[in-house]
Chains A and B, each alone.
Chain A
Amino acid sequence: MSTREQMSIVIVGHVDHGKSTVVGRLFADTGSLPDGKLAAVRAECERTGKVFEYAFLLDALTDEQDQGITIDTARCFFKTQRRDYVIIDAPGHIEFLKNMISGAARAEAAVLVIDAKEGVRENSRRHGWLLGMLGVRQVVVCVNKMDLADWREDRFASIEKEYREFLAGIGAPPPVRFIPIAALHGANLATKGSEMPWYTGPTLLETLDGFTKSPAAQHRPLRLPVQAVYKFTDGGDDRRIVAGRIESGSVTVGDEVVFSPSNKRARIRSIESFNTTERTRVCAGHSTGFTLDTEIFVTRGEIMSRVDSAPQVGTRLRANLVWLGRKPMETSRDYKIKLHTAALPVRIHRLISVRDASTLDPGAGADRIGRHEVADVELETRQPVAFDLAEQDQATGRFVIVDGFDIAGGGIITATVADDQEGFRLESRLRDFRWISGGVSPSERRALFHHAPALVLFTGKHGVGKHRYARALEQALFRARIATYLLDGANLLLGVGNDLAAESARHELVRRFGEIAHLLTDAGLVVVSTSNAIGLSDHASVRTLLGDRPLLTIDIDPAGTATSDCDLRLRGDESELTVVTRITGLLRDRGVIGLNDTTHTDL
């Protein structure tokens, strides 16, 4: 079995500061090159009349050799006594920043190369910021080409001082070490050079071997972003498997888990795998799958955790992000955010600051983030999403932004920001986490009733015909053997809400309405509701309290001037039959009724 440890290291820095030479030299000096490769590259140089460079070992592609720069992230393997290294040689040229990021985002440690003669340059600074943002915590800075600086200690010291001050200024973590090197001569890479007796620290190779693998995430709270729910029926397989990678923590058969943001709970019935012995426990790092003891409906993008250490749920995220798109990121547009396995519409809620990562200068405009700029922003997702702060859990705290077909930016979540649903969301989470279920499960109710629960909410001003339509709908559903109930807002004020003065306690009225709708839908009913007190503006609150049960909002607007979102807008002059037909069509589309061909055919 393979017992050797592997670590991936990215080499970054400004263009022409000698990154590829550092890597080529490390390969040659550790004897990690295939036989004949060094000779072949030397021969190729001789044939084309170029002076041999160690960089050519890596720059295998024609483009790069022609231009003499690394375009993309090459990956190579080299070995020391301690472990195997995957070296990611990332390009220093600004045009290829996205390639540098692709390389660094995979790395466990980084070597940042600064030219002793040129000193700290634009990309030295930009890469320093990015390593911090990308979560690379083990960084060694090599001050290269010391031969061109006459091997002088004061030159090395002044670069170290300047760069440390820069990093401290932007709040990036300090590097582990600075090493003076001359990659072309091999000084302080694999062996100590005699040229700089004033440097008594370890070589680059010793420093790399001293880096540690990130500690196992299995002692942190459980996080499993749901990647998919599978049911493959070939060969009579009837398992319904919740699949994903455990990003932190561990899972044992019998554990109670909760899914966020749906707040669904279940116990782990089994751990599923192919061609292994049966497992009862699986820990962080494994891509795995589970069956659950109850048939709950969970989807990709939810996070599975324990009840007492659930992730945060919200719609507003404060983040640091870097933008790579050719078109700037603008405050007035919708984008797609991909955060762990979730993907949903997002837009900039507030742009706190934008700047160029190398100069710290303010960016182009206050309403957009330009290419290669970094920003401190508040993002707002269209629906609530589960997440963590990046400092607590990297895998569930970092994201990318998709513009059109392309990943155009990425970032980390630095703080949560309360939105207007915060209070109700917390209430419904605590309620769901502690809910004591009866002996009949929602799926058993569905099977008996032949339909799912839902809330149909009629809104509109007094006297536009809400009650007339609601009654017609209730009667039609009932005749089609659908378990239904008309919840009239006026009745709510008579009993459950008779201690409330309607206007001043509106928030509390909405809460009580939402909780009653939650109870009735928990009983499996299709609740039809009409109220003057609950308006379209409250539907976000009702939705929060209702959880993931379908909510249809039907707005009646005789003037035809309303623009807010709803599922169906009526003028109030439609016939009752038309309205019933359109709403039952929506219920069918949402999978509430007509679950099979033989039910509800009379609607």
Chain B
Amino acid sequence: MDQLDQLEAQSVYILREAYRHFERLCMLWSIGKDSTVMLWLARKAFFGHVPFPLMHIDTSYKLPEMIAYRDRLAREFNLRMIVGADAAAVKEGRTFPLTQHLPDGDPRKLTRVQCCGILKRDALNSTLSGERQRQRLNLTTGVYEPDPDREPYHGVIAGVRADEEGSRSKERYFSPRDKSGTWDVGDQPPEFWNQFKTDYAPGTHVRIHPLLDWTELTIWEYIKRENIPVVSLYFDQGQGTRYRSLGCGPCQSPIRSNAKNLDDVIAELKSGQLRSIAERSGRLQDGKHGLEELRREGYM
């Protein structure tokens, strides 16, 4: 067994434990490379099937190519695809990009972190609980329709990696959240060997993290080995730039890179310019403690 085999075996084991213990289970899919690998691992775990819904929290600031790719894969893989979005916030202008022009000190002006709080954290928590109307993709027509199911989810699979940033390095594979989605990082349950927290009190939910042990490099090596389709935004299309990590358009910037394919990306990470530069350096909301605060309150 090589390292990728070991990582795959552990993730598959975790996914099967999650499916076994949580009747109301969903998987968060950000359309990025990590959660797409996670989706692929679910197909590994369940022999080509994905026996739970995929959930995407759409901020409306995702690049159009990501949305097209999402819907294409959903139909190709026969997924139960659910989308949650705070359309009202965007319509009413309560976002960072729409308040950017306001003068400093204007109470309506929102920071990047506040914007993430509304469009991602709050939208996620309310979509999971069922308070917010979910939209479900009709695989025959390709159209999103209101999902009649309003029941809360008790198990939520998320593709965070321990090497991404400080707070994620402290996560458990199975991480309980209280009624409001809050993560009590100071009092986490013990995790012995491969025995996980699979019993939960009514009203609480558990986040499940099958990718904790993966790194940016192993993710790309696995994408290559398995030939997993990824969005072309990760590659240089001739402009000399590419995205290293995908978030919302206004809060990320492409990096200078001539990596045009998987081999180039892997070489760049192993021995090239990215060998020792943090992956999320292009994500602008991550500054000191910003992401950690969001994560305690339920952010991925």
Interface residues of A (CB under 8 A from B): 1-6, 31, 33-37, 44, 58, 60-63, 71-77, 86, 98-99, 101-102, 105-106, 134, 227-228, 230, 232, 234-235, 237, 239, 241, 243, 245, 272-275, 283, 285-287, 289, 300, 324, 336, 338, 394-395, 398-400, 402, 404-407, 410
Contact = CB atoms under 8 A, between A and B. Distances in A.
28 contacts: A1-B4, A2-B4, A2-B218, A3-B3, A35-B276, A37-B278, A58-B166, A60-B170, A63-B186, A71-B185, A74-B169, A75-B162, A75-B169, A86-B213, A101-B192, A102-B188, A105-B193, A232-B47, A243-B16, A274-B48, A275-B226, A287-B9, A300-B20, A324-B190, A394-B193, A398-B193, A400-B192, A407-B195
A399 B194 CA distance: 9
Given A60-B169, A287-B12, A410 B195 contact: yes
Contacts of B276: 31, 33-35
Interface string B54-78: 0000000000000000000000001
Contacts of A74: 166, 169-170
A319 B5 CA distance: 33
A404 B2 CA distance: 39
B225 interface: yes
A438 to B, nearest CB: 32
Contact of A274 (B16, B44, B185, B190): B44
Given A2-B217, A274-B44, A405 B195 contact: no
Interface in B18-33: 19-20
Contact of A405 (B192, B200, B217): B200
A239 B78 contact: no
B16 A60 contact: no
Contacts of B167: 60-61
Contacts of A228: 16, 19-20
B136 interface: no
Given A76-B163, A77-B163, A273-B47, A405 B201 contact: yes
Given A37-B278, A74-B166, 12 more contacts: A2-B4, A3-B2, A44-B288, A60-B165, A102-B172, A227-B13, A227-B17, A234-B78, A275-B40, A405-B199, A406-B189, A407-B191
Nearest to B174: A407
Contact of A61 (B48, B170, B199): B170
A424 to B, nearest CB: 31
Contacts of A33: 276
A287 B185 contact: no
Contact of B8 (A101, A287, A405): A287
Chain B residues touching A, range = 35 or more
B265 to A, nearest CB: 14
| Consensus secondary structure, chain A interface | mixed
Contacts of B17: 227
Contact of B3 (A4, A77, A273, A395): A4
Contacts of B212: 75
Contacts of A241: 47
A12 to B, nearest CB: 14
The 5 closest A-B pairs by CB, nearest first: A60-B166, A98-B190, A287-B12, A410-B192, A232-B49
Contacts of B44: 273-275
A19 to B, nearest CB: 15
Nearest to B10: A287
Nearest to B288: A44
Interface in B170-204: 170, 172, 185-186, 188-195, 197, 199-201
B165 A2 contact: no
A2 B3 contact: yes
Contacts of A75: 162-163, 169-170, 212
